[in-house]
């Protein structure tokens, strides 16, 4: 087993951001081939150093047990050799993705002969702030490097040993490639101040991407002067209209709620048209029963369905991320739209109906990254849509909306070529 120098360099956050920025200038000029070769080296070295990573991961697990972490959190923290192999394979998939850098999005020549081209270029330096999932360290690094960006990683303190080990392996791997090691910076300090410093480092960091719970994301949005790409929180609704097909509705409800309850594109609230629910209440109750789904509902829901816990404001406003659901009973598509407008997080919203006009009203009026007619919200996902790996799902409107692939990590530059043109 190899040994590594600690990645804890005697550098402050600003120095690290500066090093990343300097490295980003070189990285931006590399060819796709050079970047791909480097990613493949990282993948190989990660596999080769699996034991080292797993040993370091154990330290985080021991610490987690001492602190009494939940099973779910321990599961997100825990690495196995299979998971490390998945990291490596994830990088190999990124190699297969098309490099967006250098793509000429449009080009034209002005009457005076000045040639204008809109070219995709890397953003520069990405600041990634995330919680206890060591896979983000590898995934985000792979996508950043492939798109020609340097990255400054600030992971959660719970995964500090795992993340530190992964980055030291990445650094070791990069030593033999064209990508400068400095293009990947890991902030080893676990204090919150270190993350706070990233928030305002506008001169050296081009974008911040927070990944984790709502509190983390809000903290970044509220305190950052560096532009932020907001990701992830999905308080998603399925509206089952009066004219919904029963089989489609039940399948979509089941899939959106139970397939993977903890992900952001899972459904959190079912909105039923009263007439439809009255007619199909037994089958809906049976669905809840089959999966042991805890139901929180409004008064109408309580009158129609069994075992309904009265819903509070929190039930409408927050994600469960578990086998629980909020149930709202309404009388028109307009009421459904109004409820979503009030409580939705602009992620993914679906209507189930056979009535084309109702569907159109819903698709047009609901303001969200993805709006669905007669399908599960679970398709809001880079790989499901065919984008390959994603850096996150944007719930904001500027720059990128919905699943963000490599192009979301680029900007454009106008390249003007002339022969002495003046205005």
DSSP line for 203-271: TT-SEEEEES-HHHHHHHHHH-SS-B--B----EEEEE-TT--HHHHHHHHHHHHHSSTTSTTSEEEEE
**Two tokens at 40?**
């493949």
Determine, following the binding rule CB under 8 A, whether residue 25 of this chain makes contact with a copy of itself: yes
Determine, following the binding rule CB under 8 A, whether residue 324 of this chain makes contact with a copy of itself: no
Q: How many whole angstroms separate alpha carbon 41 and alpha carbon 67?
A: 36
C-alpha closest to that of 240 among 126, 360, 336:
336
What angle in degrees, to the nearest 10, is found between the helix axes of 13-27 and 192-199?
50
User: CB-based burial of residue 345 (10 Å sphere; 0-12 exposed, 13-18 middle, 19+ buried)?
Assistant: buried
Exactly one of 259, 278, 289, 299 binds a copy of itself (CB under 8 A); that residue is 259
Exactly one of 248, 274, 317, 323 binds a copy of itself (CB under 8 A); that residue is 248
C-alpha closest to that of 269 among 199, 319, 212:
319
Exactly one of 86, 251, 318, 335 binds a copy of itself (CB under 8 A); that residue is 251
DSSP line for 79-112: --HHHHHHHHHHHHHHHHSPP-TT-EEEEEE-TT
Question: Contacts with a copy of itself in 377-406 (CB under 8 A)?
Answer: 378-380, 384-386, 396-399, 401-402
Q: How many whole angstroms separate alpha carbon 371 and alpha carbon 347?
A: 8
Of residues 96 and 259, the one with the C-beta less far from a copy of itself = 259
Question: Contacts with a copy of itself in 218-237 (CB under 8 A)?
Answer: 221-222, 225, 227-229
Determine, following the binding rule CB under 8 A, whether residue 92 of this chain makes contact with a copy of itself: no
Q: Contact region for a copy of itself (CB under 8 A) — 39-47, 49-57, 77-85, 360-368? A: 360-368
Provide, rounded to whole angstroms, the least separation between the CB of residue 226 and a copy of itself: 10
Determine, following the binding rule CB under 8 A, whether residue 74 of this chain makes contact with a copy of itself: no
Exactly one of 58, 363, 388, 407 binds a copy of itself (CB under 8 A); that residue is 363
Q: Contact region for a copy of itself (CB under 8 A) — 8-16, 52-60, 268-276, 369-377? A: 369-377
Q: Output phi, psi for 97, to 5 deg.
A: -70, 150
Of residues 63 and 396, the one with the C-beta less far from a copy of itself = 396
Contact 379, 259 (CB under 8 A): no
Determine, following the binding rule CB under 8 A, whether residue 216 of this chain makes contact with a copy of itself: no
Q: Contact region for a copy of itself (CB under 8 A) — 74-82, 243-251, 274-282, 287-295? A: 243-251
Determine, following the binding rule CB under 8 A, whether residue 75 of this chain makes contact with a copy of itself: no
Question: Contacts with a copy of itself in 27-66 (CB under 8 A)?
Answer: 28-29
Provide, rounded to whole angstroms, the least separation between the CB of residue 358 and a copy of itself: 13
Buried b / exposed e along 385-422 (16+ C-beta atoms within 10 A): eebbbbbbbbbeeeebbbbbbbbbbbeeeeeeeeeeee
Determine, following the binding rule CB under 8 A, whether residue 190 of this chain makes contact with a copy of itself: no
Residues in the interface with a copy of itself (CB under 8 A) total 67
Q: How many whole angstroms separate alpha carbon 152 and alpha carbon 144?
A: 10
Determine, following the binding rule CB under 8 A, whether residue 323 of this chain makes contact with a copy of itself: no
Site of interaction with a copy of itself (CB under 8 A): 25, 28-29, 108, 110, 114, 116, 121, 123-124, 202, 206-207, 221-222, 225, 227-229, 245, 247-248, 251-252, 254-256, 259, 359, 363-365, 367-376, 378-380, 384-386, 396-399, 401-402, 411-423
């Amino acid at each position: 087993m190899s040994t590594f120098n600690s990645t804890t360099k005697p550098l402050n956050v600003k120095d690290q951001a500066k090093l990343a920025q300097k490295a980003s200038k070189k990285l931006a000029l590399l060819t796709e081939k050079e970047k791909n070769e480097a990613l493949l080296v990282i993948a190989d070295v990660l596999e080769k150093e699996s034991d080292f990573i797993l040993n370091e991961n154990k330290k985080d697990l021991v610490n987690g047990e001492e602190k009494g972490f939940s099973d779910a959190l321990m599961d997100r923290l825990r690495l196995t050799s299979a998971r490390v192999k998945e990291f490596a394979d994830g990088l190999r998939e990124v190699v297969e993705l098309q490099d967006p850098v250098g793509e000429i999005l449009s080009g034209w020549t002005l009457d005076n002969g000045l040639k204008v081209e809109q070219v995709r270029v890397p953003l520069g330096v990405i600041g990634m702030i995330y919680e206890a999932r060591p896979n983000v360290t590898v995934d985000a690094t792979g996508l950043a490097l492939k798109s020609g960006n340097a990255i400054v990683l600030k992971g959660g303190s719970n995964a500090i040993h795992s993340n530190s080990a992964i980055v030291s392996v990445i650094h070791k791997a990069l030593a033999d490639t064209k990508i400068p090691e400095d293009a990947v910076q890991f902030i080893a300090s676990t204090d919150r101040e270190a993350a706070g410093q990233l928030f305002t480092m506008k001169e050296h960091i081009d974008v911040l991407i927070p990944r984790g719970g709502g509190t983390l994301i809000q903290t970044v949005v509220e305190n950052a002067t560096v532009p932020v790409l907001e990701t992830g929180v999905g308080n998603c609704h399925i509206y089952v209209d009066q004219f919904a097909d029963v089989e489609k509705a039940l399948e979509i409800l089941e899939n959106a709620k139970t397939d993977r309850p903890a992900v952001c594109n899972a459904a959190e609230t079912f909105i039923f048209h009263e007439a439809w629910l009255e007619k199909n209440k037994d089958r809906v109750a049976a669905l809840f029963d089959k999966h042991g789904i805890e139901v929180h509902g409004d008064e109408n829901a309580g009158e129609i369905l069994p075992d309904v816990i009265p819903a509070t404001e929190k039930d409408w406003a927050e994600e469960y991320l578990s086998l629980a659901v909020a149930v709202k009973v309404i009388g028109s598509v307009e009421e459904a739209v109004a409820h979503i407008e009030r409580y939705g997080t602009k992620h993914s919203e679906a209507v189930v109906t056979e009535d084309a006009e109702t569907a159109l009203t819903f698709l047009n009026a609901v303001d969200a990254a993805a709006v669905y007619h007669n399908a599960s919200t679970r398709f809001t996902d880079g790989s499901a849509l065919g984008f390959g790996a994603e850096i996150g799902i944007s719930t904001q409107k500027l720059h990128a909306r919905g699943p963000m692939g490599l192009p979301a990590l680029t900007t454009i530059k106008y390249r003007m070529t002339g022969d002495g043109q003046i205005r």
